[in-house]
Amino acid sequence: MCGAELDSTPMMAEREIDLEIHSPITPIHGPELEAQGISLWMKRDDLIHPFISGNKWRKLKYALRDARRLGRKRLVTFGGAWSNHLLATACAGAMFGFRTLGFVRGDESASNPVLSLCRLFGMELVYVDRTRYRDKDSVYESHCGRTPNQTLDYRIDEGGFGPHALEGCAEIIGELMGPGDSLPPFDHIFCACGTGATLAGLAKGLATSATHTPQQPILHGIPVLRSADFLIPQIRTLYPHAHFEWHTEYHFGGYAKSSPELESFIRQFCADTGILIEPVYTGKLCFGVFDMIRKGAFPRGSRILILHSGGLTGMLGMHQRF
Ligand SMILES: *Cc1c(COP(=O)(O)O)cnc(C)c1O
């Protein structure tokens, strides 16, 4: 752009809320896959952006556009101390011209590299103890509930959960389509579940693209937390018609819990593929898929897709183990 054009650009030009999506579908090879006659693929949403990672961009995209449409100036959201969502919101806010405020579960001692990155992207962090954190409405009200903030702030739920997340995640299915917009050429699609919004979005994407093919892929969710059945009604509030299989045996003791078996699987997978997975979400997801394949859960010739939902920060918190 030449100088004259620069000068004529309004100072407060609003930046378009979009990212160029680079999320190829890559094949995964391995002796156990060949032994079972399975072809395995990975949708690389981890490559969308280093900090606005994977499904966090999918979930933020329409929320941010809504915030812009309403003329809001600041994004306010919630997260744990290692939250991929806080970091994504901080970075996206900086990129698209919003200020950001993050309520962090815990006290100042929770400081870590992820929160440092949030701060670096200009996010204001407010630490909230675990008891108060449970009542998000009251936390929000006490900081942001008064005018004039009401008209300036845009609240986004923890993990980006909500109807905007549903729309963003549903778009993944469109990127899987085969030639001539036929249904995705996969028999099974797997994703990790924290809040379940990604799964709900995939379910919606599949249902709304299933026009005239009988061969509907089966959607599978692997929750990464213990006793995760409470997520099912939560998923149905976002998308009532969601059809999926639900695999509750791969939580490894609960959210952000790990085990030597999981860590050894992750080590092997990273070394074999050059694709980084981590213990909180994608490690459990891949472990589950490989475990089912090894146990012969899918007929020979099955085509399976794993959604790599991103999330490098889970690794930052546990790097001492690797
Ligand atoms: C947040 C996150 C998830 C969880 O997604 P939900 O839509 O909340 O189920 C999965 N994978 C990664 C890498 C994440 O950061």
Question: Is the pLDDT at 244 greater than 90, yes or no?
Answer: yes
pTM given for the model: 0.93
φ, ψ for residue 79, nearest 5 deg: -175, 160
Q: How many CB atoms lie within 10 A of CB 298?
A: 19
Q: Is 309 in the pocket of ligand 1 (CB under 6 A)?
A: yes
Q: Is the CB of 313 under 6 A from ligand 1?
A: no
CA of 4 to the centre of ligand 1 (A): 45
Residue 10 reports pLDDT greater than 70: no
Q: Which atom of ligand 1 is nearest to the CA of 169?
A: 7
Position with higher pLDDT, 192 vs 111:
192
Is the confidence at residue 211, as pLDDT, over 70?
Answer: no
Q: What are the tens digits of pLDDT across the range 296-311? A: 999 999 999 999 999 8
**Residue bearing the CA closest to ligand 1, atom 3:** 194
DSSP-derived secondary structure letter, 71: T
Per-residue pLDDT, averaged over 1-20, amounts to 63
**CA 209 from centroid of its chain's CA atoms:** 21
- Report whether the peptide linkage leading into residue 148 is cis, meaning its omega lies within 30 degrees of zero: yes
Torsion angle of alpha carbons 296, 298, 300, 304, nearest 10°? -130
Please give the mean pLDDT across all residues of the chain.
92
CA nearest to 105, candidates 85, 79, 124? 79
How far is ligand 1, taken at its centre, from the CA of residue 287, in Å? 16
Buried b (16+ CB within 10 A) or exposed e, 22-50: ebeeeebebeebeebebbbbbbbbbbbbe
Pocket test for ligand 1, best of 61, 78, 172, 198 (most atoms within 8 A of CB): 198
Beta strands in 109-217 (DSSP E): 124-128, 153-155, 188-193
